[in-house]
Amino acid sequence: MAQSASTETRFLEMHSGKWRVVVSVPRSLQPKLGTKLKRSLDTDSLAIANALKWRVVAELKAIIAEAQGEKSDLREARTRAALNILKRRRAIIDPLELNEIADETAHVAAELLGDPIGTEAGPDGELQEVFDPSREAMANSFFDVASGRAVPIDLYRPDYLSQLKVKPRTRADDKRAVVLLADWCRTNSIPATLQAITRKVAMRFVDAMTNAGNGRNPVTMKKYFSRLSIYWQWLLQREHVELNPWQGIKRPTDTSPHDEKERPFTREEMMALLNGPASAAMHDLMRIGALTGARLDAVVSLTVKDCRDGLFLFKPQKKEPAPRVVPIHSSLLGIVAARVAGKSEGDDLFPEWPPPKSSMSLRERSFKASNAFTAYRRSIGVDDCVAGKRRSLVNFHSFRRWFITEAERAGQPEHIIAAVVGHKRQGMTLGRYSSGPAIEQARVCVEAVRLPEGNELATVAGSATSH
């Protein structure tokens, strides 16, 4: 719980019977500024000192920032001071302490407002004080933020993101969505605050972002609107907002004049890919993808220890709750044996496509492998592009679709296929070391899928492009 204004002494010390603000100076600047910056508040009341200190703290920190060669922004510093008060207010339950916070907010706002610069007749004819417009705007902004009347859109995002269990790319989409909304608000003179995002404003934003002339991709924008809705739902559950303005808003759809969906490879395309001039690593990658139905990132992330006892152990993908076991197809045993030979347990099965060097990278490990496959696929003429759609209707995921299709044609039960490829299923569990019916059924399913046979030439890819 936040401390009471009558007991908190952060940034404060008593000197000659009066409270003063004290801010520590970084060691590198101490020869220039001294060890601490200090400023008296001219009060012996701790409660009043706590009310007045934040503006002074912001100003002293601005001095330090300028000494470090950073751009000083007092407005931003005062906003941070207001947010500090707001966070303390949110953590307090005791009514007396809430009153202290309210007094503190009023004191600081009064300090920012300053003395009147004159008087003028009010609507009722009586004289009223007039304040400097810039100081009045500054004081009002501080009061609105500190009192919770104007909470910045991203104030609670650190807490939200700390509880968000998604991939880095989805986390980046979250950030981009909020930045896009905030930028749009500023462009349209709308406060970038939670209180300002009403249902009407949200709809205006959606309309603006999906306007046919703005060049934005409908699929991307749909993803951003979804991330905003999830964030607002989190805020709603914690009573930071009173409604989710994004809920139920009709999402944009791709209006391109085609109804084609991404599909499995045809037999001719499979023959072209498997007989083509790919590297040895790419040939191995394609065959494992085709005979497991696994996603590309799961395949390239395999290590030696993930290929034991005739089983692959694929890392969780999408919404899978745990790693998934898939029997190694008999025709893949030679490939796996060659790739694990002489390696340690933690070594990569596909060192040709290592993970990104930077731990901050948002790219999946499979990024370069995907690019390499796409270049190879296109080089032999296996492609299926349609106007209005960014991705080809065939891609590495088409191996997964091909595996499912071939397993179905071989008469394998739907729930067994779902277990093998990691689709949601009921009552089906595969144990890594189990020799019971579950793992055996999965092995039968995998072995039922066979790569195309024959000596057909890779040049049949020419016919694939006409699909």
Mean pLDDT of the chain: 83
152 domain residue, yes or no = no
Residues 102-144 pLDDT 10s: 877 787 778 777 788 888 877 777 888 888 888 888 788 888 8
Same domain, 130 and 163: no
In terms of pLDDT, which residue wins out, 215 or 353? 353
Is 5 contained in some domain? no
User: Tokens in use for 92?
Assistant: 């307090």
Which amino acid would we find at residue 440? E
**162 with 129, same domain?**
no
Asked, for residue 190, whether it belongs to a domain, the answer is: yes
- Structural domain includes residue 95: yes
pLDDT, tens digit (0-9, with 9 covering 90-100), for 278-337: 999 999 999 999 999 999 999 999 999 999 999 999 988 776 667 889 999 999 999 999
Question: What global pTM score does this model have?
Answer: 0.55
Are residues 205 and 171 both part of a single domain? yes
Enclosing domain of residue 65? 12-146
One domain, residues 353 and 286 = yes
Question: Rounded to 5 degrees, what angle do the CA atoms 271, 273, 278 make?
Answer: 135
Does residue 171 sit in the same domain as residue 286? no
Q: Are residues 281 and 347 in the same domain?
A: yes
Q: 146, 178, 196 — which closes off a domain?
A: 146
Tell me the average pLDDT across 404-413.
Answer: 95
- The 10s digit of each residue's pLDDT in 171-183 is 888 999 999 999 9
Are residues 50 and 86 part of one domain? yes
Counting DSSP H helices and E strands in the chain, the numbers are 18, 7
Shared-domain flag, residues 366 and 291: yes
- pLDDT confidence of residue 395: 94
In this structure, the answer to whether residues 29 and 83 fall within a common structural domain is yes
Which pLDDT value is given to residue 140?
A: 81
Among 146, 176, 191, residue at a domain's last position: 146
Residue 409 has pLDDT above 80, yes or no: yes
Q: Identify whether residues 103 and 177 lie together within a single domain.
A: no
Same domain membership, residue 341 and residue 453 = yes
pLDDT tens for each residue of 170-218: 888 899 999 999 999 999 999 999 999 999 999 999 988 888 666 677 7
d(CA 177, CA 181): 6
372 in a domain, yes or no?
yes
pLDDT at residue 155 in the model: 81
DSSP H helices, 70-155, are 74-91, 95-113, 133-146
**Residue at 87 is within a domain:** yes
Q: Which residue, 123, 146, 169, sits at the end of a domain?
A: 146
- For every residue of 284-348, DSSP letters joined together read HHHHHHHTT---HHHHHT-BGGGS-TTEEEEPP-TT-SS-EEEEPPGGGHHHHHHHHTT--TTSB
Whether 242 is covered by a domain: the verdict is no
DSSP characters over 229-295: HHHHHHHHHTTSSS--TTTTPPPP----S------PPPHHHHHHHHHSS--HHHHHHHHHHHTT---
Residue 400 lies in a domain: yes
Average pLDDT of the segment spanning 90-102:
76
Domain count, the chain: 3
Instruction: Give the total residue count for the chain.
Output: 467
Report the pLDDT value the prediction gives residue 430, as an integer from 0 to 100: 55
Please indicate whether residue 61 or residue 19 has the higher confidence score (pLDDT): 19
Q: Are residues 139 and 180 in the same domain?
A: no
Q: Tell me, what CATH number does 371's domain have?
A: 1.10.443.10
Q: Specify the pLDDT at position 67.
A: 81
**In 10 A of CB 200, how many CB atoms?**
9
